Structure 1
Amino acid sequence: MADDRTPETRAQRELRQFVARLARLGLAILALVCVGAVALSLTEEVSLWVGLLHALDIVATTGAYPPKHEIGVEIVRVLLTLLGVGTLFYALVAVTELLVAGHVADMLAARRMQKMIDATTDHFIICGYGRVGRQVARDLRGAGARYVVIDADPANREVAAGIGVRFIEAEPSDDRALRQAGIERARAVIACVDSDAENVFITLTARELSPDIAIVARASQEDSERKLIRAGATRVISPYKASGVEMARLALHPQVSGVLDVAAEYRMEEITVTAGCAGVGQTIGDIRGGSYIVGLRPAAGGFEPQPAPETVLGPGDVIMAMGTPRTMDRLETLFATTSTTGASL
């Protein structure tokens, strides 16, 4: 049922219906000519072959044979003309309807899109093109990565077509849609539809089709995170939970300007050395503890990768540190102002 909503499938269904309609019209015209040939051969008292020629002449309205002015013949001619012209006109209307409806154009456009997708390799498959999916697409496009979007909403297809996104209008959890998106050639699948249940189905389907592919899934509820992991997701992201944690951290520690989760047990942060904090005047070797100081942006400008342990820190300097949550919490406290530290305690 999900496939019936795609433009290509709709166009193919309409085309099959059109061909079946033409076949029925062809049989109707053949039956009309055969009945007309028998009727004319009897009323005109000619052979069946001549009656067939006259019937074809009347149905095609060519007028190659002169009519006989006999009541029986004229009745047959009138019936053949009405039925023949009506049938041919109906066939013309059916052809016009097919072209005007645009189904052929939709099918050709879908085939062109599929050829582009078939030529794409080492790409990402974005399942869902809502607010999260569009942001993922923008970030991937900014990084120069190739991606294919699967979404069942026709409105999202129009938005994607406006910016040239490779788009498949189908349910993201459908096997056929993921195969059309080239899951066997893809680098990763990103399940970011609004429904956690749908993300679980997407994860199960993708893992079944490609056992080794990386799957990043979105979860709105904590219970869904465990289900997605069991379903085969490589990483699970909770936008609401992550944004809440980030907002709380930035509120509690204004000196932290950016956080990146490197792995489950490590994170990287940019921390500003604030005036009056305990870290002012200390060296890199004094403050790093169990963390790694991977970079320093002095207040005077420039950037120092892997600064020397004897480098003294001053107000306004920004350090880039990586470590476990415990060691990073220590650094955050070390570079917090006295008022902020007191408030947090």
Structure 2
Amino acid sequence: MPQSPFSLEPIFTAAWRIIRAMLSDPVRRFQFSLLLLAVVLLLGTVGYVLIEGLPWIDALYMTVITLTTVGFGEVRPLSHTGRLFTILLILVGVGTVAWAVQNAVEIILGDRLWQSVQERRLEEERMKLSNHYIIAGYGRMGQQVVRDLKRQGVPFLVIDSNPDIQEELIEQGIPFLIGDATQDETLLEAGIERARGFVAALSSDADNVLAVLTARGLNPNLRITARASNERTESKLRRAGADRVVSPYTIGGHRLTLATLRPTVHDFFESMFHETDSDIDIGELTIGEHSPLAGQTLSGCDLRRVWHVNVIGVRRTDGRFLFNPPADYVIAPGETLIVMGPAEQIRALEERNQSHII
């Protein structure tokens, strides 16, 4: 006799996978236990109505006192069938109640509640962000950008499409958004219109080009920096709207050469940029027309005595750099001073320069 091609085994296998996946999550497990408890409560009520002929309210009362084992008396003596039904209800119902209570305690005292609270706090913080930086991609380069921005106290937000990093970001208190950084909806939700800068650090050059193009279209005034894996992509990123393009392989090659030829200089920069407790930083001061520094000499500004910083370079209005400018150099509006000194002093100096109150 030929076998039927129809089999229930795949259906049962798929159902078991769904149930196992659902029970692996504490919240879903608690929801399932509440649903099972409601079913037991309904079946117990209906059972007392059919077996003992009790009114619905009395049947519900009997079911509740049976499941909770409070020891209250019966509304009226039960028949032998009713007692057997009560025994079965106790065996099934008490275990169900205990399981539901256990799941509730696990959620309240476990990591799930803490994670939920932290996630909501970070979401509220994300909604309030303004004049912040958006980092698209939380790979090795994106993580380094995050560490540097955290060290400098700069507000930022991370966008990544990998949901597995969510728990890590929550533990570190990093505002984030799980989504595609090349999509308008994701960038708008990240506050791209209120943002100050955008860092495209995605793993694919094509994604970085699209992310830069999208970000520039949503915010023409955005300061955009992008990562490029090869030199051919740099021109595309600039055409897409990137202000600066960084090639990690080119920079890495320069650092290897520096470490080989001038190891002490390499160690100095390594200490300044990679040690979390480093107190040295490099900043920039763009001189506006109304800045008190405009028209003064470097010695007249007295930045070294007042702010404990040294001017190590000047970017002139024509884009050329002047390294180690002399003390009698006159600062012109539109130029940018590159200064090095204590990190806190650098940040305070940059803030005051933006307000033209140096």
> What range describes the TM-score normalised by the shorter chain of this pair?
0.5 to 0.7
From 33, 37, 41, give the equivalent of 1:25. Answer: 37
Question: Following TM superposition, by how much is the alpha carbon of 1:149 offset from its aligned partner in structure 2, in angstroms?
Answer: 3.1
From 120, 123, 136, give the equivalent of 2:129. Answer: 120
Q: Percent identity?
A: 31
What is the 5 A alignment of 1:220-239?
A: 220-239=229-248
Q: Classify the secondary structure of the residue corresponding to 1:304.
A: coil
Query: What one-letter code is carried by the residue in structure 2 that aligns with 1:148?
Result: L
Q: Classify the secondary structure of the residue corresponding to 1:93.
A: helix
From 41, 57, 63, give the equivalent of 2:65. Answer: 57
* TM-score normalized with structure 2 length: 0.56
From 201, 207, 220, give the equivalent of 1:198. Answer: 207
Of structures 1 and 2, the one with the larger relative CO (CA 8 A, separation 6+) is 1
1:263–1:88: structure 2 CA closer, same or farther, 3 Å change rule? farther
From 75, 84, 87, give the equivalent of 1:78. Answer: 87
1:39–1:153: structure 2 CA closer, same or farther, 3 Å change rule? closer
Query: What one-letter code is carried by the residue in structure 2 that aligns with 1:87?
Result: T
1:39–1:267: structure 2 CA closer, same or farther, 3 Å change rule? farther
Q: Classify the secondary structure of the residue corresponding to 2:320.
A: strand
Give the aligned partner of residue 320 of structure 2: 267
Structure exhibiting the larger radius of gyration computed from Cα positions: 1
Residue pair 1:38, 1:52 contacting (<8 A) in 2 also: no
Gapped runs of 5+ residues in structure 2? 1-24, 262-311, 332-336, 339-358
Question: Following TM superposition, by how much is the alpha carbon of 1:23 offset from its aligned partner in structure 2, in angstroms?
Answer: 3.6
Aligned: 1:40 with 2:52:
yes
Q: Which moved more, 1:60-69 or 1:187-196?
A: 60-69
Once the two structures are superposed, what CA deviation does each residue of 1:220-278 show, in whole Å capped at 9, x if it has no partner? Answer: 112222332344333322233356579989x99xxxxxx9896998331427xxxxxxx
User: Within 1, Cα distance between the matches of 2:211 and 2:51?
Assistant: 65
User: Within 2, Cα distance between the matches of 1:224 and 1:168?
Assistant: 27
Residue pair 1:33, 1:52 contacting (<8 A) in 2 also: yes
Aligned pairs, number: 258
Q: Classify the secondary structure of the residue corresponding to 2:206.
A: helix
From 279, 287, 306, give the equivalent of 2:330. Answer: 306
What is the 5 A alignment of 1:120-199?
A: 120-137=129-146, 140=149, 145-151=154-160, 152=162, 158=168, 161-162=171-172, 166-168=174-176, 170-171=178-179, 173=181, 175=183, 178-199=187-208
What is the 5 A alignment of 1:3-14?
A: none
1:204–1:261: structure 2 CA closer, same or farther, 3 Å change rule? farther
Aligned: 1:218 with 2:227:
yes
Q: Classify the secondary structure of the residue corresponding to 1:122.
A: coil
Question: Following TM superposition, by how much is the alpha carbon of 1:34 offset from its aligned partner in structure 2, in angstroms?
Answer: 1.9
Question: Following TM superposition, by how much is the alpha carbon of 1:92 offset from its aligned partner in structure 2, in angstroms?
Answer: 1.8
Note the aligned Cα RMSD (angstroms). Answer: 4.4
Query: What one-letter code is carried by the residue in structure 1 that aligns with 2:330?
Result: Q
Give the aligned partner of residue 98 of structure 2: 89
Give the aligned partner of residue 112 of structure 2: 103
